Structure 1
Amino acid sequence: MAPQPKLTFYTSVICPYAQRAAISLKEVGAEYEKVEIDLQNKPTWYKDVNPETKVPALTVDGYNIAESLVLVELVNDLFPEKKLLPDNALKRAQIRFFVEYWSSKVNPQQWKLLGARDDKEGRQTAYNDINAALARINELLLEQSQEGPYFLGQEYSIADINVAPFAYRLKLLVAHFFKDEVELIHFAKYPRVKEFLAGITERDSFKATIANEELFAQAYEKAIERIAAAKK
């Protein structure tokens, strides 16, 4: 077996994109140096790693690579025996479509909810969009397997890794700021969706890479302040 490349992982525990890469590294059992980046006070030297100064980034034997989706697939390619992506080309395409669908149809609604903290009608619009997306997500899950707990059924994959950080944060956001409206999102309406969300967030690699809820609450409060300031 070839020796593992030398890895340095630049991350922030609060960032969902960074958590994607962190989960993948945990899943394959990679050995790496971890460097936590303060997103509010990024070190000047970090521009040499990633000129855009975003996290995550990964140094592989001296080469710097960025962007979370790229890194998750890179980790799969570095540790192919772990099979985070199936060999079947169609399954790989379905996984990528699923991730893109969640990213484009569900993730933007988090920002809409944050911006509509004092706008009930605006929140309802976001809830409606989320519920429409969840109905389609349920169909996509059932197309793969009638039972979970993962996208591919019993097989854990990049689909689960790339969605989990965002699904968790959406549920946490609603539970923290809109407690009386939790039931307006149909997380539990579709058994396959419910099982999927539980499966991906109960995985050991997910639990090992998630921040505590207090940090998330603080981050959301700051985001709300920034949104409010931008509206003035």
Structure 2
Amino acid sequence: MHNFELISNILCPYTQRAAIQLAEKGQEARRTYIDLADKPDWFIRLSPLGKVPLLRVGDTAVFETAVICEYIEEATVGQAPMWPDRALDRARHRAWAEFASTVIADVFGFYMAPEEAAFERERSELAGRFARLESQLAGAGPYFGGERFGLVDAAFAPIFRLLETFDRLADFRLLQGLPATAAYRHKLAERPSVRAAVVPEYGQVFMRYLAGRGSYMSRLVTAEATSVEA
């Protein structure tokens, strides 16, 4: 068993990717949560870019999500490989894992849009990203590469977790007309490694985070909370 410590803030979707991978590999990792608005000195010394996730392996710190996941894959040879066997298939999966990273940035733009018109533009852009994913899922399944759960799935699962919070506010039609993506979302949510990748109160913490962003969605969160209290 490796001496892994996964360092993050409590909400980071990129960290969830590594946490899911470690769970799929049967590897335990200590989880350390920090406040990115008040980074501890020890974290600043370890992380050259000041970003999470950070994987500490003994006295060595590994940073950047893709690098962390590649290290975990190489360090656990013989345990449930999460990239395909063929080189071209691996390249395709790596590319779509990077696509997932771009979608996370789009999700950020969606919930940070300051007013309704910008919000609608971001919503449309994000829905378009999911439409591109739909084209890759049609006829496959239940996972991105077929029957075997892989790192592309670990990359998309945290995105769909964010959609669970958005669904509490309204139907934003992000997956409208995308049956394969909707089915994929629900399949990933059932995976034990995905469910265990976050703290139990993740949804409530994310809602509080959204409420404090000063964005159009922040006002929707406030309205939802007011309607619950009424």
- Tell me the TM-score normalized by structure 2: 0.83
Structure 2 residue aligned with 1:184: 173
- Pick the aligned partner of 1:198 from 186, 200, 203: 186
Structure 2 residue aligned with 1:152: 145
Q: Which runs of 5+ in 1 are unaligned?
A: none
- Pick the aligned partner of 1:15 from 7, 12, 26: 12
Q: Which runs of 5+ in 2 are unaligned?
A: 219-230
Which stretches of structure 1, 4 residues or more, deviate above 6 A after TM superposition? none
Instruction: Say yes or no: does 1:141 pair with 2:133.
Output: no
Q: CA deviation at 1:31?
A: 2.9
Q: Which string of whole-angstrom CA distances, capped at 9 and with x for unpartnered residues, describes residues 203-226 of structure 1? A: 11111112421101112223336x
- Pick the aligned partner of 1:224 from 203, 214, 230: 214
Structure 1 residue aligned with 2:60: 63
Structure 2 residue aligned with 1:96: 94
- Residues of 1 paired with 2:23 and 2:59: CA distance? 21
Structure 2 residue aligned with 1:108: 105
1:139–1:98 CA distance, 2 compared to 1 (3 A): same
- Residues of 2 paired with 1:112 and 1:58: CA distance? 27
Instruction: Say yes or no: does 1:166 pair with 2:159.
Output: yes
- Residues of 2 paired with 1:82 and 1:41: CA distance? 37
- Pick the aligned partner of 1:128 from 89, 103, 124: 124
Q: Which string of whole-angstrom CA distances, capped at 9 and with x for unpartnered residues, describes residues 15-50 of structure 1? A: 111111111111111133332223333211112221
Corresponding letter in the other structure for 1:96: R
- Pick the aligned partner of 2:33 from 15, 33, 36: 36
Superposed CA RMSD in Å reads: 2.3
Q: CA deviation at 1:125?
A: 1.8
Aligned residues of 1:112 and 1:122 also touching (Cα < 8 A) = no
- Tell me the TM-score normalized by structure 1: 0.82
Q: CA deviation at 1:183?
A: 4.8
SS at 1:223's partner residue?
coil
- Residues of 1 paired with 2:61 and 2:70: CA distance? 15
SS at 1:41's partner residue?
coil
